[in-house]
């Protein structure tokens, strides 16, 4: 039969030689390979004490941005939810009342905004669909947990803080 | 009755005298039908305002084959025997329509993320299908305050494109005329004269006929987005209207009730305000089944039944009204 690649090996059923039947050379070869790895640089990091450097466009956990005055940008238009292939996002909108102009940028805002982090596949389509530059993915990893409830992220965990120290910088992703 | 032969975009059809070019094009099908923002089959004297349905008449008739000198509004021009019309096949029409869309969008706020109409907005469809992706307008847009028309309807005058459909509804569907257009030109606005409440039984239909988000249902205001809801055909015994409506469900909750719209986005049967605003309990309605939504519509997103093409039933053909 004609070979498509030269990677396939021809199987033979010839009987083993004396050295092969003793197995010991093969055992020592394997031990040697293991030993070699003791002196190599490990491929893993001691997370969370050590953290790996990510590119600026790494797709980690989400953030709901505020504008420069500290008002939430999200207007609950639902485009992130409809673009989400995993259907991880749900939201309930509400109307902004008088006196809440410093809290919400538009007359409509998301009263409830939830992302199911177990469903999320971190594809970034929500960020791409957002017409208000409200939702972004960050370079942070979504933390693990023992409880399933901990993975339903509400606005308390998604919206960034008002103070300048608690803002999450995403300018690098916007400039790309 | 003699039939007139008319050719639109190389499709030939025979229609009775008095049919407009737009109606004839709709009889042929969606491929040749010009878009219409102000014309509404069920409202007499509607049409002629928005200019989106402009077409080119390249041959006036069999007897007088000269072409018409300018593009004509197809909703207001009746067909002649042997007339030849170009719609999407004419680059002139396509260019003119781009201009019309740009004009309609000049004062439109483009607040689609906030607007309840987004997803079923004719202006969105129109500008997506026939418009440009940019505007050359660089001046301040006209703005108005939001007005409550009664306790059930919200008027966003900034979004209005002055199609006059809602005024025709008030004129023709309800006994006492409650609202109209005041002022002229670019300052004209829909008003109820000192914000008089429109409180007659069929006033809610002006929400359905509004092609943009200028008139929206206050009982549904910001409740959800249309593409999160599942439209179901439903009916109930109503002593005021036919009771045939569409209920928009989220789980088992009914978020809003609208009239049933045909493939041209026009309501089949008017529904009364009781059905529209007050019957939001699932027990009030007998659900017939899921509404068929076109596959290209955002409303069909995440709904798993296959979208089907609309087939015009004989009752909804506009020709019937002419005899």
- Residue B231 sits at the vertex; the CA angle it makes with A79 and B39, to the nearest 5 degrees, is 85
Residue (of B238, B237, B248, B221) closest to B303 by Cα position:
B248
User: What does the pLDDT read at residue A7?
Assistant: 83
The long-range contacts involving A169-176, CB below 8 angstroms and separated by at least 24 positions, are A170/A63, A170/A65, A170/A136, A170/A138, A172/A56, A172/A57, A173/A56, A173/A57, A173/A127, A173/A136, A173/A137, A174/A133, A176/A56, A176/A57
Mutate to test the interface with A, among B109, B146, B222 (most CBs of A within 10 A): B222
Domain ranges of chain B: 3-90, 143-220, 226-300
Residue (of A90, A156, A79) closest to A119 by Cα position:
A90
**Nearest residue of A to residue B228 by CA position?**
A82
| Cα of B105 vs its chain's centroid, Å | 16
Q: Does domain B3-90 have CATH number 1.10.287.110?
A: no
Residues in A closer than 8 angstroms to B120, CB to CB, are: none
- A-B contacts at Cβ under 8 angstroms: 39
Q: What is the DSSP string of B78-105?
A: B--TTEEEESTT-HHHHHHHHHHHHHHT
Residue (of A38, A30, A71) closest to A162 by Cα position:
A71
Residue B112 to residue A107, Cβ atoms within 8 A = no
Do B273 and B241 contact (CB within 8 A), yes or no? Answer: no
What is the rounded CA–CA span in Å between residue A14 and residue A112?
70
Residue A78 to residue B112, Cβ atoms within 8 A = no
Task: Report pTM.
Answer: 0.82
**Mind listing the pLDDT tens digit of every residue in chain B (323 residues)?**
689 999 999 999 999 999 999 999 999 998 899 999 999 999 988 999 999 999 999 999 999 999 999 999 999 999 999 999 999 999 999 999 999 999 999 999 989 999 999 999 999 999 999 998 888 999 999 888 888 888 888 989 999 998 989 888 887 887 666 667 777 777 777 776 545 556 678 888 889 999 999 999 999 999 999 999 999 999 999 998 998 999 999 989 999 999 999 889 899 999 999 999 999 999 999 999 888 888 788 888 766 555 454 444 444 444 443 43
CATH class of A62-175: alpha beta
CATH class of B143-220: alpha beta
SS3 of chain A: helix, strand, coil, percent, to 5: 25, 15, 60
Domain ranges of chain A: 62-175
């Amino acid at each position: 039969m004609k070979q498509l690649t030269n990677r396939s090996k021809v199987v033979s059923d010839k009987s083993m030689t004396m050295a092969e039947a003793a197995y010991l050379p093969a055992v020592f070869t394997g031990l040697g390979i293991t030993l070699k790895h003791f002196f190599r640089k490990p491929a893993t990091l001691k997370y969370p004490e050590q953290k790996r450097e990510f590119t600026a466009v790494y797709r980690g956990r989400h953030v709901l941005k505020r504008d420069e005055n500290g008002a939430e940008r999200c207007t609950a238009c639902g485009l992130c939810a409809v673009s989400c292939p995993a259907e991880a996002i749900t939201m309930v909108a509400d109307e902004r009342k008088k006196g809440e102009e410093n809290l919400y940028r538009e007359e409509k805002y998301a009263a409830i905004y939830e992302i199911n982090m177990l469903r999320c596949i971190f594809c970034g389509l929500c960020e791409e669909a957002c017409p208000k530059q409200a939702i972004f993915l960050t370079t942070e990893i979504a933390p693990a947990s023992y409880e399933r409830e901990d993975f339903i992220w509400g606005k308390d965990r998604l919206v960034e803080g008002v103070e300048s120290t608690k803002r999450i910088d995403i300018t690098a992703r916007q400039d790309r | 009755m003699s039939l007139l032969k008319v050719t639109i975009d190389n499709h030939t059809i025979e229609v009775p005298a008095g049919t407009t070019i737009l109606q004839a094009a709709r009889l042929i099908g969606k491929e040749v039908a010009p878009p219409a923002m102000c014309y509404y089959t069920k409202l007499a004297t509607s049409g002629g305002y928005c200019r989106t349905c402009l077409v080119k008449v390249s041959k006036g008739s069999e007897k007088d084959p000269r072409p018409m000198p300018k593009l004509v509004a197809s909703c207001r021009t009746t067909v002649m025997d042997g007339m030849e019309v170009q719609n999407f096949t004419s680059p002139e029409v396509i260019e003119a329509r781009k201009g019309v869309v740009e004009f309609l969008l000049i004062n439109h706020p483009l607040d689609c993320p906030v607007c309840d109409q987004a997803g079923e907005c004719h202006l969105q469809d129109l500008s997506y299908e026939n418009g440009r992706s940019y505007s050359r307008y660089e001046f301040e847009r006209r703005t108005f305050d939001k007005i409550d028309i009664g306790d059930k309807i919200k008027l966003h005058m900034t979004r209005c494109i002055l199609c006059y459909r809602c005024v025709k509804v008030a004129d023709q569907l309800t006994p006492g005329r409650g609202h109209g257009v005041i002022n002229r030109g670019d300052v004209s606005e829909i008003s109820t004269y000192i914000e008089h409440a429109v409180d007659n039984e069929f006033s809610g239909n002006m929400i359905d006929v509004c092609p943009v988000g200028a008139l929206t249902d206050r009982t549904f205001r910001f409740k959800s987005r249309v593409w999160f809801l599942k439209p179901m055909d439903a009916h109930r015994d109503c002593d005021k209207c036919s009771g045939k409506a569409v209920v928009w469900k989220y789980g088992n909750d009914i978020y809003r009730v609208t009239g049933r719209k045909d493939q041209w986005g026009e309501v089949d049967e008017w529904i009364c305000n009781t059905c529209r605003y007050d019957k939001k309990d699932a027990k009030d309605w007998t659900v017939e089944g899921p509404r068929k939504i076109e596959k290209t519509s955002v409303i069909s997103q995440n709904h798993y039944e296959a979208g089907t093409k609309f087939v015009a039933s004989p009752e909804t053909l506009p020709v019937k009204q002419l005899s």
